[in-house]
A = this chain, B = another copy of it.
């Protein structure tokens, strides 16, 4: 109870303060606003809350803020009064602590005082319902620090109660009560509001009339010794009115007290009891108002809320305790990402990254590290393809596996990797496919069974590539990259390729061919090999994405079986252990950078490197011939490739001819030398 002091002869009017009721939805919305919109902006923000007056006895008067608090045009809930507020959300706990709360209160009080003096509050009584909210949101821990203030202007002295609060049913007849209900409802309906915070009342034995503040003169028509005013009262206490009455009494004292000696106050309380409307528990009392009409200065104001310990201090709510842990994990994962947008990269389009569907071909050293980095970027859709099982040497280099996964012959990598992602972050949509990728030079036609299996594998791979946006080539052989590279090129999917040497690595994107409908008149419509503009151009510093090559473009040997007859150190990828992490991370960062480019996979490969100025040779783009064959002949073409040695692909792509010409050229050069 906040008491005012004054004449000791009569008991003094006291008011029940608001309890701030900040809903979880409010903090969630604040989190989103802070992350996505306010970021580092500390400027005051308009928010709104509301209070209700139909609570059961025993509940404190609450000023409620919900998720809708940030939407100033959001409708007020039925039978609630709106309150307009100002949010001061600080960037740091330090500035939360050191904020000048006295000054903030004075500023708000002054605005209320000005609205009273100017009459604006008569036109729009909600201006009296002003609140402040000082916050600091520690989004790392989901700790929210806040201090609520409902500024109340203070009258110069305490208000003597001429007639103490009594229940309305002790003063009004049932008929009067029903007339009051009816009159109040009609006025709300006329005004188109859910509730009227403040109003004027005239009554006699048979009628009760209510009116708006701005109609004071017309309503009361000349001086009286006493007027009756109504307040929509959120308080439930039988002896005390709620906080909203305070600024209304100041308004009454300032604007009207010269015309009467006392004021009768009806604290309108409107609840439903056992199915029936009940306003009889409203209270009514009479106070003597001081004359304030000619006081020009803003009165003193109070209103900072006490904390849970009853002292003057902020409150803290730890939402991490009551949130669903999985939901909490999702929000937390987004946090670090969104922080990037606050200061460092405000133009970063995170949605493009988070929503991308990634297919990881290979769940070994590279696959695990790529998946980890994708998780760090918030990517939610990750699919693994691998046909290997986890062996004992894997866990120390493949960061999605543990010793336990190696027991009993080892779990299939693709499935175990997907399971692990779920364990790391339940919000991820991870799947694993334990399947082989058919490879050139790895024959499949020994029996119809294996041929049929190869056909199914190809179909499955085509389907998987179709259903994803970015295809990562992360296998440990060269030839296993061939088929997915061809399919992905045909489907115009962005391909990111990574491969390790001992202390070298390659991380690259494949060129993204122009959409199929374009350039249909070309000899090879689906790739830029034959484009005259490529060879005719004089400046190659900036190569558009659709002219870039693929992993096989710079090779003069077609892919074949590279694992047969290899020694152990050639079978294993022997590389410095740190390399896979570096290459995996760079592969993902490359993808993110490409996705951020307005043209995506068609982004120009710009470089200040002088080597880029050399015109690409026809060699660089040779292997694209296969794309045409794949699109025309499908699996039949692929079966030929799988079952053939190098020579089939080398004949097809012209490498055989190139080798012959190179040899011929070398011989010619020797002859040249000999003539000198």
Using a CB–CB cutoff of 8 Å, the interface residues on chain A facing chain B are 39-40, 91-92, 94-95, 138-141, 320, 325-326, 328-329, 331-333, 335-336, 339-340, 342-345, 369, 372-373, 375-378, 391-393, 395-397, 399, 401-404, 406-407, 423-426, 502, 564-569, 571-572, 574, 576-579, 581-582, 584-586, 588-589, 592
Q: Which residues of B contact A377 (CB under 8 A)?
A: 577
Known A-B contacts A92-B566, A328-B392; A336 and B138 likewise in contact (beta carbons under 8 Å): no
Known A-B contacts A581-B582, A588-B577; A376 and B404 likewise in contact (beta carbons under 8 Å): no
Complex contact A392–B333 (CB within 8 A) = yes
A401 to B332, CA, bound (A): 14
Q: Which residues of B contact A369 (CB under 8 A)?
A: 581
User: A347: shortest Cβ distance to chain B, in Å?
Assistant: 14
Of the A-B pairs whose beta carbons lie under 8 Å apart in the complex, a sample of 15, sorted by A's number, is: A94-B564, A94-B565, A320-B392, A329-B393, A332-B391, A333-B392, A335-B393, A335-B572, A342-B567, A343-B569, A375-B397, A377-B577, A378-B396, A576-B589, A581-B581
Copies in the complex: 2
A426 to B581, CA, bound (A): 22
Q: Which residues of B contact A339 (CB under 8 A)?
A: 568-569, 572, 574
Q: Which residues of B contact A576 (CB under 8 A)?
A: 340, 589, 592
**Closest B-chain residue to A590, C-beta based?**
B578
> Of residues A92, A139, A576, which shows the largest number of chain B Cβ atoms within 10 Å of its Cβ?
A576
Complex contact A140–B578 (CB within 8 A) = no
Complex contact B572–A391 (CB within 8 A) = no
Q: Which residues of B contact A40 (CB under 8 A)?
A: 567, 569
Q: Which residues of B contact A328 (CB under 8 A)?
A: 392, 406
Complex contact B391–A403 (CB within 8 A) = no
Complex contact B588–A585 (CB within 8 A) = no
User: A408: shortest Cβ distance to chain B, in Å?
Assistant: 9
Which of B140, B335, B402 contacts A424, CB < 8 Å? B402
User: A358: shortest Cβ distance to chain B, in Å?
Assistant: 14
Which of B392, B395, B401, B582 contacts A582, CB < 8 Å? B582
Complex contact B574–A372 (CB within 8 A) = no
A376 to B565, CA, bound (A): 27
Q: Which residues of B contact A577 (CB under 8 A)?
A: 373, 376-377, 585, 588
User: A394: shortest Cβ distance to chain B, in Å?
Assistant: 8
User: A363: shortest Cβ distance to chain B, in Å?
Assistant: 15
Q: Which residues of B contact A329 (CB under 8 A)?
A: 392-393, 395, 403, 406
Q: Which residues of B contact A335 (CB under 8 A)?
A: 393, 572
Complex contact B396–A375 (CB within 8 A) = yes
Complex contact B403–A139 (CB within 8 A) = no
Known A-B contacts A392-B332, A396-B376, A578-B376; A567 and B91 likewise in contact (beta carbons under 8 Å): yes
Q: Which residues of B contact A340 (CB under 8 A)?
A: 502, 569, 574, 576
**Closest B-chain residue to A39, C-beta based?**
B569
User: A380: shortest Cβ distance to chain B, in Å?
Assistant: 11
> Of residues A331, A332, A392, A407, which shows the largest number of chain B Cβ atoms within 10 Å of its Cβ?
A392
